[in-house]
Amino acid sequence: MEVDSGSSSPGRKRRLLRLYYSSGPEPPPQQQEPEPCDINGAHFDPEIYLNKLRKECSLAELMDQESCMVKQIRSLDSDMQTLVYENYNKFISATDTIRKMKNDFKKMEDEMDCLSTNMSAITEFSARISGTLQDQHTQITKLSGVHTLLRKLQFLFELPARLNKCLELQAYAQAVSSHRRARCVLQQYSHMPSFRGIQDDCHAIMERLAHQLRQKFRDGGTSAKELSECVELLLQLEEPAEELCDKFLSHAQTRLEEDLRSLEAELKDSTVTNVSGDSARNPSSPSETLMSIHLISPASRADILEFIDRGCNEFVSNLCLVIASYQELFINRPQEGNLAFKNIPQMANSKLHLFVDSLASKYFSLVERRIQEEKGVGDNSLLVRALDRFHRRLQAVSKLLPGSAVPSQGTEIVIQAARERIKQYLSALQSFYLESLTDIRQALAAPRLSVGGTNTAGGGVHTGACTPGKEAPPSLPELLSSLSNSILNQIKSVLASVHLFTTKDITFSNKPYFRGEFCSHGVREGLVVSFIKFICQSSRNFCESAGDRGGSTPPVLLLLLSRLCLDYETSTISYILTLTDEQFLVMHQSPVTAVTALCEEAREAAQKLLNHYVKVQGLIISQMLRKSVETRDWVNTIEPRNVRAVMKRVVEDTTSIDVQVGLLYEEGVRKAHSSDSSKRTFSVYSSSRQQIRYAPSYTPSAPMDTNLLSNIHKLFSERIDIFSPVEFNKVSVLTGIIKISLKTFLECVRLRTFGRYGLQQIQVDCHYLQMYLWRFVSDENLVHFLLDEIVGSAAHRCLDPSPMEQSVIEVICERG
């Protein structure tokens, strides 16, 4: 039993200890089923344990259990004894300590008693002293109160004088602050007559002060800083803010308008200088100096950069200053309680916007006028820099005044200027082109007139590339290459100038307009494409105007231009456009003119020019032939001895045209052309045909003749188109010209009546033409056919058709 209680008490202690030390949650006791059989457990029940043992264990085990248990009990017993011995000394010393403490406390209690009596004595003394001092203290407090009041009163009484003094000294700020301090008091005690007097005085003074301030405000001379001071004071004086805003702005306006006026005067001055030219530039001209006395000296006519600089430095910076001080005064001012003025910032802001907008628009109109005066296309960089500066300075305004439309309007102006510029460049290019053409005309005309003409021609083409020799007139290919080179150079230089608009360091170059529309729509379409179109258009115009008014354009020019257009079609256009696209990194957002379309147009123009060339040259030769047929009396002509001079002329002209065209165009292909087709075989062939043709006309069976004629027609199943488009080669061009000439010859012959010798003359002439013309054409049969037709028609129109012997014809022709 002793063992049991001993074993149970340490378990409880442990639990208590655990309870004390660990604030953590204890495992809930219900979890453990009370185990009566656990000998160390809290719920150990010896009876149950014994019964259990008895039930479960054999005798031997029981014996073992018992002996084991006895052993354990003994060891526990000895442990207990050792513990008791060990702790005994500690109990003893604890008892001693407690006893000693008891003594010490007793002493301390005495001392505490003594202290409390002393304290009560002190309290008593203190109460007595304060009782005696009470009266004096209240008196002092009263006195000091009176003192401050008196000082305030003194301040008030002195206030009018002080204010007057401040006014005299113009120390307005002090006056206002003084008055502000007194104002409330005066207001409060205004029912007392003396105070009323002061207040009235003050009012009068302040009135005067305000008046003076306003005067100063109205006065133009004050600087911006003083002005702002004024405004601040007036605001403190509870002047109506709106009125102040208006006044402030109107004052600023007069000053800014003065800036603008001076700018405008400069603008006028520059136009005057423009008009009066050199005399205005002369600094010695006194009237000019007088006129622009406060402007920059008239000697140096302000360029646009200077103008913009002036505008920026004077107007824009002043404007910024005004905006800044205005905002300082009216908008960003810390609100001082006064609820009535809560809407000041909005009101002030809207006023400011109106003000800035109206002034800026005036400024912009001036700038626009100035920009419009920039007509010369020589140096673009100046304009670009000026625009850049203009744009850059406006950014300051946009920073100061975030919602303002001014910067966007400024950008608009820049864009407008850029557009205008492109137009100017286009017209410059166009006039350059036309000038070049005039030069070429001169160069073409010059060799015939004088050799000296080449000089002007060479100088006229600006590149100077074509001054080959002073004596030799420039040949066609040289003229062509110099023309196309100078045009190309001009385009390149214009592109370079325009490119300045998009340089990285220009502020506006990153605006969306300059990245997209300017490149694609402005430069590519508006400048390059338009120029190419202009070339084509003006070329086409040559064809139309010259047709009616009879060869105002030299045919050689037509030929030259046709080659130029063809060159453009094959290479130049795509080169120029690629160049443009590369330089400007054109993003094709909007549809642009395709290279192929332009090439198409150029080719069309080239074709038209060449057709027209053929037509003009053909008509020149036709005219000769027609005159020669129409003016002669073919009935009464003499027997032919010679080839008529006009035929020789025709052959000569054709040869020179051949040379001319050969300079610019390739040879081209001939149809079934055998180089050794000698004159003889050809003559026999044609003469035999002629014999057959003539034969029926002697016989009375007329119907056969027409049949034969139509049969011959059928040999050429292909219908001959006289004025038909030609190909871009020499043979085709010459074929066209010869076709036109011979067809004219034919039609003229059909309108005449011939005598015997008239027919023979035609025979001789046609044979002569046959001898020389076949070599120029693509299909010699064409010449044969047309000449046969001519001779045939002449035979029909002959009163006495007796043809000449072929051999005689040949002799005459070979002779000359």
Question: Which chain residues interact with another protein by CB under 8 A?
Answer: 547-550, 619, 635-636, 697, 700, 702-703, 706, 709-710, 713, 719, 721-724, 743, 747, 750, 753, 755, 796-799
Comparing CB distances to another protein, the nearer of 299 and 620 is: 620
Q: For another protein, which is the closer residue by CB, 369 or 796? A: 796
Cβ proximity to another protein: between 513 and 757 the closer is: 757
Residue 615 CB, nearest approach to another protein (Å) = 9
Question: Which candidate, 210, 163, 207, 203, places its Cα nearest to that of 187?
Answer: 203
**407 HSE (CA, 13 A, CB side):** 20
Give the shortest CB-349-to-another protein separation in angstroms.
60
Angle between helices 193-218 and 59-169 (to 10 degrees): 80
Shortest approach of another protein to residue 514 CB, angstroms? 44
d(CA 805, CA 816): 17
User: Angle between the 344-373 and 241-276 helix axes, to the nearest 10 degrees?
Assistant: 0
Distant-in-sequence, close-in-space partners of 374: CB < 8 Å, separation ≥ 6:
304, 383, 417
Q: At closest approach, how far in Å is the CB of 656 from another protein?
A: 23
Give the nearer residue to another protein in terms of CB position, either 83 or 702: 702
CB nearer another protein, residue 396 or residue 709: 709
Instruction: State the DSSP code for 485.
Output: H
CB of 389 within 8 A of CB of 309?
yes
| Under 8 Å between Cβ of 554 and 444 | yes
Of 373, 379, 376, the closest CA to residue 267 belongs to 373
Buried b / exposed e over 183-198, threshold 16 CB at 10 Å, is: bebbeeeeeeeebeeb
Q: Which is nearer to another protein, 298 or 618 (CB)?
A: 618
C-alpha to C-alpha distance for 51 and 384, rounded to whole angstroms: 118
Single-letter code of the amino acid located at 248:
F
Six token digits for residue 776: 């120029």
User: Looking at beta carbons only, is 162 or 612 nearer to another protein?
Assistant: 612
> Which of helix, strand or coil describes residue 387?
helix
Please state, as a whole number, how many other Cβ atoms lie within 10 Å of the Cβ of residue 205. 20
Q: Which residues contact 716 (CB under 8 A, 6 or more apart)?
A: 781, 785
| Partners of 798 in the β-ladder | 754
Give least dist CB 366 to another protein, A. 45
Shortest reach from residue 643's CB to another protein, in Å: 24
Measured from the CB of residue 622, what is the shortest distance to another protein in angstroms?
8
**If phi over 0 gives left and psi between -120 and 50 gives alpha, with beta otherwise, what is residue 551?**
left
Residues 6+ apart with CB under 8 A from 760: 639, 640, 803, 804
Nearer to another protein, 264 or 747 (CB): 747
- Positive or negative torsion for Cα 65, 67, 68, 70: positive
Q: Give 382 or 709: the residue with its C-beta nearer to another protein.
A: 709
Least gap, CB of 721 to another protein (angstroms): 4
Please give the Cα distance from 238 to 126 (Å, whole number): 57
Q: How far is the CB of 597 from another protein (least distance, A)?
A: 24
Query: In the bound complex, what is the minimum distance in angstroms from residue 657's beta carbon to another protein?
Result: 20
Supply the minimum distance, in Å, between the C-beta of residue 753 and another protein: 5
Nearest approach in angstroms of CB 670 to another protein is: 22
- Residue among 42 and 722 whose Cβ is closer to another protein: 722
Kindly report the CA angle at 714 between 710 and 716, in degrees rounded to 5?
Answer: 125
C-beta of 685 vs 716, nearer to another protein = 716
Give the nearer residue to another protein in terms of CB position, either 188 or 552: 552
What secondary structure, in 3-state letters, does 584-638 show?
HCCCCCCCCCCHHHHHHHHHHHHHHHHHHHHHHHHHHHHHHHHHHHHCCCCCCCC
Q: Please state the closest distance from residue 621 (CB atom) to another protein, in A.
A: 13
CB of 357 or CB of 747, closer to another protein: 747
Full DSSP string of 495-540: HHHHHGGG-TTSGGGGSHIIIIIIIIIIIIIIIIIHHHHHHHHHHH
Residue 709 CB, nearest approach to another protein (Å): 6
Write the CB contacts of 174 (distance below 8 Å, at least 6 apart in sequence): 166
DSSP 418-438: HHHHHHHHHHHHHHHHHHHHH
- Is the Cβ of residue 130 or residue 753 nearer to another protein in the bound state? 753
Q: State phi, psi for 675 to the nearest 5 degrees.
A: -65, -25
Smallest gap, in angstroms, from Cβ of residue 569 to another protein? 23
Could you give the dihedral angle defined by the CA atoms of residues 675, 680, 686 and 689, in that order, rounded to the nearest 10 degrees? -130
CB of 673 to another protein, least distance (A): 24
Residue with Cβ nearer another protein (288 or 789): 789
Nearer to another protein, 291 or 635 (CB): 635
Distance CA 815, CA 149 (A): 146
Instruction: Name the burial class of residue 675, with classes exposed (0-12), middle (13-18) and buried (19+) by CB atoms within 10 angstroms of its CB.
Output: exposed
Nearer to another protein, 189 or 723 (CB): 723
Q: How many angstroms separate the CA atoms of 435 and 514, rounded?
A: 31
Report in angstroms how near the CB of residue 630 gets to another protein at its nearest: 10
Q: Least Å distance between CB 617 and another protein?
A: 14
Q: What are the tokens at 370?
A: 């100035």
- Between 228 and 793, name the residue whose CB sits nearer to another protein: 793
